[in-house]
Amino acid sequence: MSAPSRAGSDVEPGNNAAIAGRFGPYGGRYVPEALVAALDELADAYASAKADPAFREALWALQRDYSGRPTPITEARRLSEHAGGARILLKREDLNHTGSHKINNVLGQSLLTQRIGKSRVIAETGAGQHGVATATAAALMGLSCTVYMGEEDTRRQALNVARMRLLGAEVIPVTTGSRTLKDAINEAFRDWVTNVETTNYVFGTVAGPHPFPTMVRDFQRVIGDEAREQVLDRFGRLPDAVVACVGGGSNAIGIFTAFLGDDDVRLLGLEAGGDGVETGRHAATLTSGLPGVLHGARSYLLQDENGQTIESHSISAGLDYPGVGPEHAYLRDIGRASYVPVTDAEAMKAFELLSRTEGIIPAIESAHALAGALVLGRELGPDALILVNLSGRGDKDVATASEYFDLAGQTEAERDLAAQAPEEQ
């Protein structure tokens, strides 16, 4: 199969300003002088590579032959019974090599690292999936690799720490701040400033200074380009809604972009509501944040009355971040996409429900999207098509889920299933 077409992508809100790294008032580049030359070099290399047919073909060959693209669409028929009759379609990014959408971006950035002649890559990671993908690509391409990961995340994602080290990466636990993703990004930037001559920072999401938001979006948009073509081919029409979880936002932008020009397709991002937005323990940046600057770009942030970034919370390490990509901020402001929080409890219920109805264990991050899709399905009604980006698999989360459900006893999802299918008990 050839690379997917990019139908429906001509209308990209804010993209006319993306050359300067701007999405309306968001984005930009707010960095120390020591990084300006490296970011300029990266932006120039990306612009050159994007226009080079040989680079595009090399990337597609890796996506096809190494990471396993195209990923399929699975209709979740039994799960759909819990969504008011709406048809839930899963874009199976969990079936990529390394188990998530992260490999899409990492293969592109690692090829760029080779193109600019650097021998070392660094990365931040929260859930560990971006770190695993970066370590994987580094092993494939013969690059030295260092991954920064918050100490709290190394505890709850121990399996991925072991995977990264097995792949040859150095994993450095970060003990400052909240010891989560925000702090890992801080340390990675410090490393890059010190080692910029030999090192390329493989940034994991559509946040950060220009060119990262644009570049990561472009490497991730293969998700939506494929899905749009697949849904049209199989169902003869576009989905009524496209749903994805949002932390930094790369998987969501990756699937949203192909549908931005389709005004009848609703775009819904699900943020980490943690213990509930009203408690203050959450990561629902677009729901309750304010504009500010974090990690080199202007976007919505969780901040206090003095403008200081505050700690986020989520049961999901990959969504536990107090910022969000600037293009999501822009899409929110213009009303093209909407963003809603999902609590830890709601996400874990959806996590178990997909596991028990479809035999697919999702990442907890992806379970936030599933929870939102179930609610949306009841709103849209029977025969609506809801496309969900299943951004990753849940192997890494089995320990967290086991602890959660053991503490809770019999879960609400389990009780619901027992009540609905007593003959199977």
117 contact partners, CB below 8 Å, separation of at least 6: none
User: Is 124 a residue of the active site?
Assistant: yes
Q: State how far the alpha carbon of 351 is from the alpha carbons of 57, 141, 392, in Å.
A: 37, 35, 12
For 261, half-sphere exposure in the C-beta direction (CA atoms, 13 angstrom radius) is: 12
CA distance 386 to 371: 12
Residue 109's alpha-carbon distances to 37, 221, 235, 246, in angstroms, are: 17, 14, 34, 21
Report yes or no: 258 and 6 within 8 Å, Cβ to Cβ.
yes
- Among 93, 124, 358, 365, the one annotated catalytic: 124
Residue 102 bears catalytic tag? yes
Six-digit token pair at 93?
A: 């990014």
Q: Are 364 and 397 in contact (CB under 8 A)?
A: yes
d(CA 396, CA 413): 21
What spatial distance separates the first Cα and last Cα of the chain, rounded to whole Å? Answer: 44
β-pair partners for 244: 269
Determine the residue type at 163: R
Q: What values do phi and psi take at 308, rounded to 5?
A: -85, 135
311 neighbors 320 (Cβ within 8 angstroms): no
Catalytic-labelled residue, pool 346, 365, 391, 396: 391
Give me the residues paired with residue 420 across strands. Answer: none
In this structure, what are the phi and psi dihedrals at residue 338, rounded to the nearest 5 degrees?
Answer: -120, 155
Is residue 91 annotated as part of the catalytic site, yes or no? no
Q: Left, alpha or beta for 168 (phi > 0: left; psi -120 to 50: alpha)?
A: left
Pairing of strands 120-125, 385-390: unpaired
Q: Is the peptide bond before 211 cis (omega within 30 degrees of 0)?
A: yes
Tokens of 371: 């929870």
Buried b (16+ CB within 10 A) or exposed e, 124-151: bbbbbbbbbbbbbbbeeeebebbbbbbb
What gap in Å lies between CA 318 and CA 150, rounded to an integer? 11
- List 91, 102, 118, 396, catalytic entry: 102
Catalytic residues: 102, 124, 391
